[in-house]
């Protein structure tokens, strides 16, 4: 009898799970003017959600995203993706349908994008910086609330995670580039680092919105220039701090292997400065080690590469790989690295006029970002491939939509 009851309960549970899965696969009702986004195209991951949701909020256009992460081993929304969507839902005062873990379709209906105080929490070691990527353009285009033109956002999760730019990249490359190109008022504060598997990190952002009617200016990042210096920033936290058994510490091995590759490729005369930080229990949660490389060119462009500690790779392997990635971007002859190229696409699409940047071959993330931007704005991108065996970089150009803060482009 007990076995039969257990079997019935198990069968009932399986039916409920199947029903829940079926609901997650079902197309959700959406407004007639919602733009349909295929979440499985090209990169097929979280970037489609971040960019389409951010542009939906800015353009005040509802979206319906289907086939979310369809090709992944665990399809549908993961906690970090859901956290990003919830954050943008709150930023816009809108409504998110299908916002449950493992959901393969969502509908986002934005309302009023206004300045305020907001929180985003992955609840895991999911990347805080990816939450920031989605929120930043939205906060610039938010409308003031009374006399408040500054938004404050607290982001919690992993600050230094694999498969995502670490917080240092945002601090030292992305935000300085945005300030240089657009003269925007954005400040960040790393409250605490957090690592896999528990997260526990905390980043604070303060973003002043653009004046009503203002537009981001077009930019030109195409001037060829030489690297004048490289800065190496490395940190260690928890049990990974210090040397063990008289051997060089993990962070020392990470840095020295990177410097060897840099010297071999850039020469002995290149200026390389180093800065090492041992995090305290207050400044970091858990055990972690990482390194950020920042190359500065004679034209003031910033290119970066990073290494985050991984159990399956030695410090030497990680250091060499990060340095080689930076060298590859330098040799490509562009003004942006392989990470920054895709992060600037949304700003090119929103800007007023024609923007251009040179880079290495556009990544899948970059190509995905261009497709999503063209679906949700009037922006038009062109990509120029260098001639065979040429030493020239690739060029990405965009006729921007000219979106005005507090309003939309006049040519939509």
Per residue in 184-218, pLDDT (tens digit) is 999 999 999 999 999 999 999 999 999 999 999 99
CA–CA dist 164, 98 (Å, integer): 25
- Is the separation of the CB atoms in 77 and 103 below 8 Å? yes
Residue positions forming the annotated binding site: 133
Q: Name the catalytic one among 81, 202, 365, 408.
A: 365
Q: Give catalytic status of residue 365 as yes or no.
A: yes
Who contacts 384 (Cβ-Cβ below 8 Å, separation ≥6)?
Answer: 394, 395, 396, 397
Q: How many residues does the chain have?
A: 412
**pLDDT value, residue 26:** 64
CA–CA dist 237, 277 (Å, integer): 9
CA–CA dist 409, 149 (Å, integer): 21
Summarize pLDDT for 323-368 with one digit per residue, the tens.
999 999 999 999 999 999 999 999 999 999 999 999 999 999 999 9
- Is the separation of the CB atoms in 235 and 252 below 8 Å? no
- Is the separation of the CB atoms in 152 and 117 below 8 Å? yes
- Grouping H, G, I as helix, E, B as strand and the rest as coil, residue 119 is strand
**pLDDT value, residue 162:** 85
- Burial per residue of 316-339, b for 16 or more beta-carbon CB atoms within 10 angstroms, e otherwise: eebbbbbbebbbebbebbbbbbbb
Who contacts 84 (Cβ-Cβ below 8 Å, separation ≥6)?
Answer: 46, 49, 50, 53, 120, 130, 131, 134
CA distances from 236 to 173, 310, 318, 381 (A): 21, 13, 14, 41
Partners of 187 in the beta sheet?
206
**pLDDT value, residue 391:** 85
**pLDDT value, residue 389:** 83
- Is the separation of the CB atoms in 150 and 205 below 8 Å? no
**pLDDT value, residue 265:** 97
Cis link prior to 197 (omega < 30° from 0)?
Answer: yes
What's the average model confidence in pLDDT over 171-195? 98
In sequence order, what E strands does 122-270 have? 150-157, 186-194, 201-208, 220-221, 227-237
- Give the containing element (helix H, strand E) for 53: helix 46-59
CA–CA dist 344, 131 (Å, integer): 15
Residue positions forming the annotated binding site for ATP: 133
Chain-centre distance of CA 373, in angstroms?
15
- Is the separation of the CB atoms in 278 and 249 below 8 Å? no
- Is the separation of the CB atoms in 236 and 250 below 8 Å? yes
Q: Which of 163-167, 212-216, 308-312, 320-324 has the lowest mean pLDDT?
A: 308-312
* Composition of the chain by helix, strand, coil, percent to 5: 35, 30, 40
pLDDT over 70 at 58, yes or no = yes
pLDDT over 70 at 13, yes or no = no
Confidence category of residue 30, pLDDT binned at 50, 70, 90:
confident
DSSP 353: S
**pLDDT value, residue 176:** 98
**pLDDT value, residue 312:** 75
Confidence category of residue 225, pLDDT binned at 50, 70, 90:
confident
Confidence category of residue 410, pLDDT binned at 50, 70, 90:
very low
CA–CA dist 29, 34 (Å, integer): 10
**pLDDT value, residue 246:** 62
- Is the separation of the CB atoms in 32 and 106 below 8 Å? no
Summarize pLDDT for 79-123 with one digit per residue, the tens.
999 999 999 999 999 999 999 999 999 999 999 999 999 999 999
Q: pTM score, two decimals?
A: 0.91
pLDDT over 60 at 22, yes or no = no
CA distances from 48 to 39, 43, 130, 166, 347 (A): 6, 8, 12, 20, 15
Instruction: State the chain's mean pLDDT as an integer.
Output: 91
Over pLDDT 90: what percentage of the chain?
Answer: 83
């Amino acid at each position: 009898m007990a076995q039969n009851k257990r079997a019935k309960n198990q069968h009932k549970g399986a039916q409920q799970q199947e029903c829940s899965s079926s609901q997650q696969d079902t197309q959700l009702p959406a407004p007639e003017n919602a733009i349909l986004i295929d979440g499985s195209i090209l990169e097929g991951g979280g970037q489609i959600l971040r960019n389409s949701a951010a542009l939906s909020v800015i353009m005040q256009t509802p979206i319906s995203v289907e086939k979310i992460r369809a090709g992944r081993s665990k399809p549908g929304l993961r906690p970090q993706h859901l956290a990003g969507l919830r954050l943008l839902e709150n930023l816009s005062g809108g409504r998110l349908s299908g916002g449950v873990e493992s959901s393969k379709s969502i509908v986002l209906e934005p309302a009023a994008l206004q300045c305020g105080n907001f929180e985003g929490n992955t609840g895991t070691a999911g990347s805080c910086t990816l939450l920031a990527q989605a929120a930043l353009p939205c906060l610039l285009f938010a409308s003031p609330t009374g006399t408040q033109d500054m938004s404050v956002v607290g982001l919690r999760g992993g600050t230094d995670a694999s498969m995502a730019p670490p917080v240092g990249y945002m601090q030292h490359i992305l935000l300085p580039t945005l300030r240089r190109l657009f003269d925007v008022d954005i400040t960040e504060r790393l409250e605490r680092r957090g690592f896999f598997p528990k997260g526990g990190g905390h980043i604070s952002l303060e973003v002043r919105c653009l004046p009503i009617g203002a537009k981001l200016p077009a930019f030109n990042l195409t001037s060829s220039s030489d690297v004048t210096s490289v800065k190496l920033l490395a940190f260690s936290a928890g049990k990974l701090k210090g040397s063990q058994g008289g051997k060089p510490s993990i962070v020392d091995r990470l840095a020295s292997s990177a410097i060897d590759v840099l010297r071999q490729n850039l020469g002995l005369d290149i200026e390389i400065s180093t800065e090492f930080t041992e995090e305290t229990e207050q400044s970091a949660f858990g055990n972690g080690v990482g390194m950020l490389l920042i190359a500065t060119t004679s034209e003031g462009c910033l290119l970066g590469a990073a290494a985050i500690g991984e159990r399956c790779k030695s410090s030497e392997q990680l250091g060499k790989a990060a340095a080689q990635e930076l060298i590859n971007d330098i040799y490509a002859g562009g003004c942006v690295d392989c990470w920054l190229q895709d992060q600037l696409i949304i700003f090119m699409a929103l800007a007023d006029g024609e923007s251009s940047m040179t880079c290495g071959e556009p990544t899948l993330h970059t190509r995905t970002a261009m497709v999503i931007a063209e679906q949700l704005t009037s922006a038009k991108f062109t990509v120029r491939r260098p001639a065979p065996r040429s030493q020239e970089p690739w060029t990405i150009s965009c006729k921007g939509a000219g979106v005005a803060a507090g309003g939309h482009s006049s040519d939509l």
